[in-house]
Structure 1
Amino acid sequence: MKGIVIAGPTGVGKTELSIKLAKALNADIISADSAQVYKGMDVGTAKVTEEEMNGVTHHMLDIVEPIKKYSVGDYQRTVDEILNKIEEKNVLLVGGTGLYIDSVVRGLSALPESDLIIREKLMKQDGEELFNILKEVDPESAEAIHPNNKRRVERAVEVFYQTGEKFSVLSKKNIKGNNFKFLKVALERDRTNLYDRINLRVDIMMENGLLEEVKFLYEKYGENLKKINIIGYSEIISYLNNEISLDEAIELIKKNSRNYAKRQFTWFKNDHDYIWYDLEKMSQDEIFSDILERFKTL
């Protein structure tokens, strides 16, 4: 089974290319965007519209209510279920949340979820005593973790008590839950042009009803909505609470979106498996053709 990852910073142009590729390959698209899993957050997350989908099946949109916790582990499990159901089809994994993409392409570490009973016992122990236990059961972790980082020490000891295996070993052992092999592609543009696109996109979001969308969600969910801390929503909530002006909120959305794009660049550039395409130097048609050729030989 084969798939393509289309990654890159916010506003770079992933959606249009992914639809075109999906149509050519008769593929489903799986969103890899940590904000688009939330119901009702459409305008502010630039969620693909029914019209833009152009008949292509999309997964992992509108999965949970905005006040529900949704972890990368939740994402991985759901996507792996989807992949194992549609093994006969090609798949495109599209988005800018690197951790979500990695959880599917590489898997997540084999660390167990926290055990509250064990953790409560460990929390009552003296920090020095705990660190001595860690040195005994997992000297590699004791070398890597500062003795004053009690929470991290607790977690390492907890994992050993749960599994009988070292935290230093399990934390590096990834479990992948699907049989897909992925061609990893990332898109980029000149930074100045990308930031101009981001600024313009925020203006279009405001024209398309971002303020009204946030008002509706804030009235529905109240202060709990702030906890998920998504760009575009947090700033408008500050405006609704009379903490800043609307103009200040809009400028903050633009600034925070640009900063987010920088962090996304850093994440994806650190992964040398990606093939990068510069939309300033190649046309979308050229990129489309090159990806299809590479996919044939995957």
Structure 2
Amino acid sequence: MTKQEVIIIVGPTASGKTEAGLMIAQQIGGEIISGDSMQAYQGLDIGTAKASVEERQAVPHHGIDIKTIHEAYTAADFKERAAGWIEDISRRGKVPVVVGGTGLYIRALTRNFDFQKSAADPQYRLTLEHQLEQHGKQWLHEQLRIQDSEAAERIHPNNARRVIRALEILKQQGGRTIAFSEQEEAESPYTVRMIGIDIQREVLYKRINDRVDQMAEDGLIEEAKWLLENAGPDVQAAKAIGYKELFPYIRQECPLEQSLDTLKQHSRNYAKRQLTWFRNKEDVEWMDMTVTSSAAKETKLLSYLEGIRQPLSKGIQAGRKQRGDPDDETC
């Protein structure tokens, strides 16, 4: 059985993934699936750098504005939904183009991770959250290590939400959680071509700093205030980089400049982690897109696409025929 073909655009925050994804999707007759864990939330537009309304009209997008700020959106949710979108897009003769920087979400999709869908245990979760408050993250992580040392190795002590979820699964299933590392080498259910958008480090950091300043001008503070007032600081949406850094300013605990500086630093650190993840865990074809003009970027991307014969040639030809473009035998 022929596998469905999927292009995945990855890279650090502010590297230009959205722009690259749009260019590629328009050239091959593709539709975009957001692989960003925060773009799913309604009302969080500025801080998550969603594609504009005009861009979404030019190319169909999936995975944006599908959750309220009170709901969780997990890697398991994304994998299940994305699989459905890929099936639908492919069935209609289009090419799925996944664009995003959330490494675990992309890995879950490309390796078909089994997330062990155990029902939540609200009472036990409250107990764990109370223990977290009383004893701290390190103590809670040690409880996980005692029960499942492999799970503790995979989950950072600071990621209390995942530590709590792992402890829930252990209680419900009465045994060791299935290590994602055991699924790392599984064959992908898709034919994947993963393109990484690479930017010179100093240029990337300047883009991050400039983007934070622009977001602030565009209404990021008001968006963060709305999130805090309507959902509070403990929902998953409020944990995202871009919002939590502004809460101290909104509570009048520090100056705005300090919150923005913290946001810039956290964003730069996140960009480092994204690069480390994709370089260590994925088979990525990296493209240096330090060029500044859209025309130069489009030239590089088109040159790259013209060199692809398989597995995307069918998708490229299908996209061109749909738009009425002449066939190109060199593609």
Mapped partners of 1:245, 1:154: distance in 2: 39
- Which amino acid in 2 is paired with 1:56? V
2:107 to 96, 102, 109: 102
Q: Which residue of 1 aligns with 2:320?
A: none
Taking a change above 3 Å as real, the CA distance of residues 5 and 168 of structure 1, as seen in their structure-2 partners, is closer
1:285 to 286, 298, 310: 298
Q: Which residue of 1 aligns with 2:95?
A: 90
Contact 2:120 2:168 in 1 (8 A): no
Shift of 1:225: 4.8
TM-score relative to the length of structure 1: 0.79
Contact 2:150 2:179 in 1 (8 A): no
More divergent stretch after superposition (259-268 vs 170-179): 170-179
| Offset from partner CA, 1:142-161 (integer Å, 9 cap, x none) | 89979xx9999978976875
- Which amino acid in 2 is paired with 1:189? I
Mapped partners of 2:52, 2:299: distance in 1: 25
Mapped partners of 1:153, 1:246: distance in 2: 37
Mapped partners of 2:89, 2:209: distance in 1: 38
Q: Which residue of 1 aligns with 2:253?
A: 243
Mapped partners of 1:152, 1:86: distance in 2: 33
Q: What pairs up with 1:155-174 in 2 under 5 angstroms?
A: 172-173=182-183
Mapped partners of 1:73, 1:192: distance in 2: 35
Unmatched runs of 5 consecutive residues or more in structure 2? 129-144, 158-162, 312-331
Shift of 1:284: 1.7
Q: What pairs up with 1:70-219 in 2 under 5 angstroms?
A: 70-88=73-91, 89-109=94-114, 111-113=116-118, 172-173=182-183, 179-219=189-229
Mapped partners of 1:144, 1:253: distance in 2: 30
Give the root-mean-square deviation of aligned CA atoms.
Answer: 3.6
Taking a change above 3 Å as real, the CA distance of residues 10 and 4 of structure 1, as seen in their structure-2 partners, is same
Mapped partners of 1:71, 1:3: distance in 2: 21
Contact 2:151 2:177 in 1 (8 A): no
1:273 to 263, 278, 283: 283
Contact 1:109 1:174 in 2 (8 A): no
1:13 aligns with 2:16: yes
TM-score relative to the length of structure 2: 0.72
Mapped partners of 2:271, 2:66: distance in 1: 24
Q: Which residue of 2 aligns with 1:264?
A: 274
Q: Which residue of 1 aligns with 2:35?
A: 32
Contact 1:31 1:95 in 2 (8 A): yes
| Residue correspondences, number | 276
- Which amino acid in 1 is paired with 2:114? S
Contact 1:109 1:172 in 2 (8 A): no
1:56 aligns with 2:59: yes
Contact 1:107 1:174 in 2 (8 A): no
Q: Which residue of 2 aligns with 1:138?
A: none
Taking a change above 3 Å as real, the CA distance of residues 42 and 176 of structure 1, as seen in their structure-2 partners, is farther
More divergent stretch after superposition (41-50 vs 64-73): 64-73
In structure 2, the residue corresponding to 1:218 is in which secondary structure?
helix
- Which amino acid in 1 is paired with 2:101? G
Shift of 1:12: 0.5
Mapped partners of 2:169, 2:226: distance in 1: 43
| Offset from partner CA, 1:176-234 (integer Å, 9 cap, x none) | 99953110110111111100000000111011111111222222223445774111211
Q: Which residue of 1 aligns with 2:44?
A: 41
Contact 1:29 1:92 in 2 (8 A): yes
Contact 2:69 2:237 in 1 (8 A): no
Taking a change above 3 Å as real, the CA distance of residues 175 and 113 of structure 1, as seen in their structure-2 partners, is farther
Unmatched runs of 5 consecutive residues or more in structure 1? 124-130, 135-140
Q: Which residue of 1 aligns with 2:314?
A: none
